[in-house]
């Protein structure tokens, strides 16, 4: 509630539930105030499923379990088997931190106290995750740290109360369309022109990393309608029907062809290389990069001729081409891609304004250059340039 972090649990749970055929109605974030939390829990119990995260810790201000029991109208009891389990873990923690176990004793009893009738799903550290049936409704309490929540969530889905709930839901199938080069509003218009979603097909359109990700959630029986929507949305901008990220896709395309890759970066400053090396196993394709932020390094490390920089400037199609060819040559790779531009906020001129970016890809199948005038701030310009570099390699390699 202080704005210092984004809620990652709500979207994770909403996306998971949607895939299982459960329509998420509301995400609520509240602070430590017990009244606010109890109010939110009561509202949640108006729905068939309530999932709450956080507030399971050992201290007095972690009150989720106590308030959930109150909202559900059930009592609390200490589960002695659970207490023994938490005690054992706490002893280990006390030893590791070199602190007396007495410091933990109160917390152990507190964390082993759960609503009557609750199913214990598992422990995250010393915090138990629980599932509680409340009449026809189900409540789930999970730890707040996203990694712990995500680890315990599959186990929640295996509990009897949730299995009964899921048996009533019909999971839609999902189709994935990935676009590059189209705007979100173009896709939205194409969708509207083909009749929009509904009739058993839910469509999400999301601009992410400067691509447009469209997901179709298709109810059983609505396959023909989904085919129509898919046909209406398909365009030259559609580049993938699978969820694989673009860096991974580019690496696969190169790997399939036995080609290696390097980058030569100026304004992106290593961002393209960083995106590529995010992918596990990228090392068999990606050899390395030269980040030539200064003109000296463009000359010295990439062999861009001094005269070329004097004549055309470092932000030019000519410099981009020389950088890509220089990287191919100097780093001994099959394919190289370069980026040079004005990321701003300073450094722009009337001839070369902020947002002007040149890219070039060079490989055994030929050469491609691109010029962009990106709107937006420094981070946007760098981000778009990096994605554009990946797509330029994709298009060079696939000759599309």
Interacting positions 369-398 with a copy of itself (CB under 8 A): 378-379, 382
Q: Which is nearer to a copy of itself, 117 or 181 (CB)?
A: 181
Is 278 a residue that touches a copy of itself (CB under 8 A)?
Answer: yes
Q: Is 349 in the site for a copy of itself (CB under 8 A)?
A: no
Task: Give the nearest distance from C-beta 287 to a copy of itself in angstroms.
Answer: 5
Q: Which of residues 146-185 bind a copy of itself (CB under 8 A)?
A: none
State the CB neighbour count (10 A cutoff) for residue 233. Answer: 22
Q: Which of 67, 82, 218, 271 binds a copy of itself (CB under 8 A)?
A: 271
Instruction: Please state the separation of Cα 129 from the chain's center in Å.
Output: 25
- Quote the least distance from Cβ 103 to a copy of itself, whole Å: 10
Are 126 and 89 in contact by the 8 Å Cβ rule? The answer is yes
**Residue 236 makes contact with a copy of itself by CB under 8 A:** no
SS3 258: coil
Determine the distance from the C-alpha atom of residue 174 to the mean position of all C-alpha atoms in its chain, rounded to a whole number. Answer: 18
Binding-site string for a copy of itself from residue 7 to residue 26, where x marks contact by CB under 8 A and - marks none:
xx-xxxxxxx-x-----xxx
The interface with a copy of itself within residues 205-224 (CB under 8 A) comprises: 206, 208, 213, 215
- Spatial contact of 235 and 179, defined as CB atoms under 8 Å apart: yes
Q: Which helix (H) or strand (E) holds 182?
A: none
User: What contacts 24+ positions apart, CB below 8 Å, involve 365-373?
Assistant: 365/396, 365/397, 365/399, 366/396, 366/399, 367/321, 367/324, 367/396, 368/392, 368/395, 368/396, 369/317, 369/320, 369/321, 371/317, 372/341
Report which of 14, 27, 48 is spatially closest to residue 202, judged by C-alpha positions. Answer: 14
Q: Is 100 exposed, middle or buried (0-12, 13-18, 19+ CB in 10 A)?
A: exposed
Among 27, 84, 170, 234, binds a copy of itself (CB under 8 A): 27
Choice between 238 and 333, CB closer to a copy of itself: 333
Only segment of 105-113, 224-232, 341-349, 363-371 that touches a copy of itself (CB under 8 A) = 341-349
Closest separation between CB of residue 114 and a copy of itself, Å? Answer: 24
Q: Which of 82-90, 132-140, 165-173, 281-289 is the region at the interface with a copy of itself (rule: CB under 8 A)? A: 281-289
Nearer to a copy of itself, 121 or 271 (CB): 271
Q: In the complex with a copy of itself, which residue's Cβ is closer, 160 or 296?
A: 296
- Least separation, in Å, of the C-beta of 293 and a copy of itself? 5
**Stretch of residues binding a copy of itself (CB under 8 A), selected from 33-41, 77-85, 223-231, 248-256:** 33-41
Pairing mode of beta strands 113-115, 76-78: antiparallel
């Amino acid at each position: 509630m202080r704005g210092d972090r984004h809620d990652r649990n709500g979207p994770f749970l909403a996306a998971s539930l949607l895939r299982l055929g459960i329509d998420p109605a509301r995400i609520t974030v509240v602070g430590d105030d017990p009244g606010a939390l109890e109010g939110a829990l009561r509202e949640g119990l108006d729905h068939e499923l309530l999932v709450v995260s956080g507030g399971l810790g050992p201290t007095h201000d972690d009150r989720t379990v106590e308030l959930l029991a109150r909202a559900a109208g059930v009592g609390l009891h200490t589960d002695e088997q659970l207490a023994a389990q938490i005690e054992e873990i706490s002893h280990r923690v006390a030893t590791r931190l070199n602190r007396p176990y007495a410091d933990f004793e109160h917390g152990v009893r507190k964390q082993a106290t759960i609503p009557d009738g609750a199913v214990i799903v598992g422990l995250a550290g010393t915090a138990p995750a629980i599932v509680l049936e409340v009449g026809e409704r189900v409540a789930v309490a999970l730890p707040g740290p996203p990694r712990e929540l995500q680890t315990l969530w599959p186990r929640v889905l295996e509990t009897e109360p949730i299995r009964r709930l899921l048996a009533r839901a019909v999971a839609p199938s999902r189709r994935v369309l990935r676009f590059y080069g189209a705007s979100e509003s173009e896709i939205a218009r194409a969708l509207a022109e083909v009749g929009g979603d509904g009739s058993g097909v839910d469509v999400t359109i999301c601009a992410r990393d400067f691509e447009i990700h469209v997901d179709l959630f298709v109810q059983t029986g609505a396959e023909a309608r989904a085919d129509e929507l898919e046909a209406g949305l398909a365009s030259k901008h559609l580049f993938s029907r699978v969820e694989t990220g673009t860096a991974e896709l580019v690496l696969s395309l190169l790997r399939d062809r036995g080609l290696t890759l390097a980058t030569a970066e100026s304004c992106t400053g290593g961002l393209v290389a960083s995106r590529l090396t995010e992918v596990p196993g990228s090392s068999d394709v990606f050899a390395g990069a030269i980040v030539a932020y200064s003109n000296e390094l463009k000359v010295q490390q990439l062999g861009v001729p001094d005269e070329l920089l004097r004549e055309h400037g470092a932000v030019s199609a000519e410099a981009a081409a020389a950088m890509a060819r220089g990287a191919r040559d100097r780093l001994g790779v099959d394919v190289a891609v370069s980026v040079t531009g004005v990321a701003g906020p300073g450094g722009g001129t009337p001839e070369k304004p902020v947002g002007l970016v040149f890219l070039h890809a060079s490989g055994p199948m030929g050469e491609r250059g691109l010029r962009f005038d990106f709107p937006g701030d420094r981070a946007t310009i760098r981000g778009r340039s990096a994605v554009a570099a990946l797509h330029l390699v994709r298009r060079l390699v696939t000759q599309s």
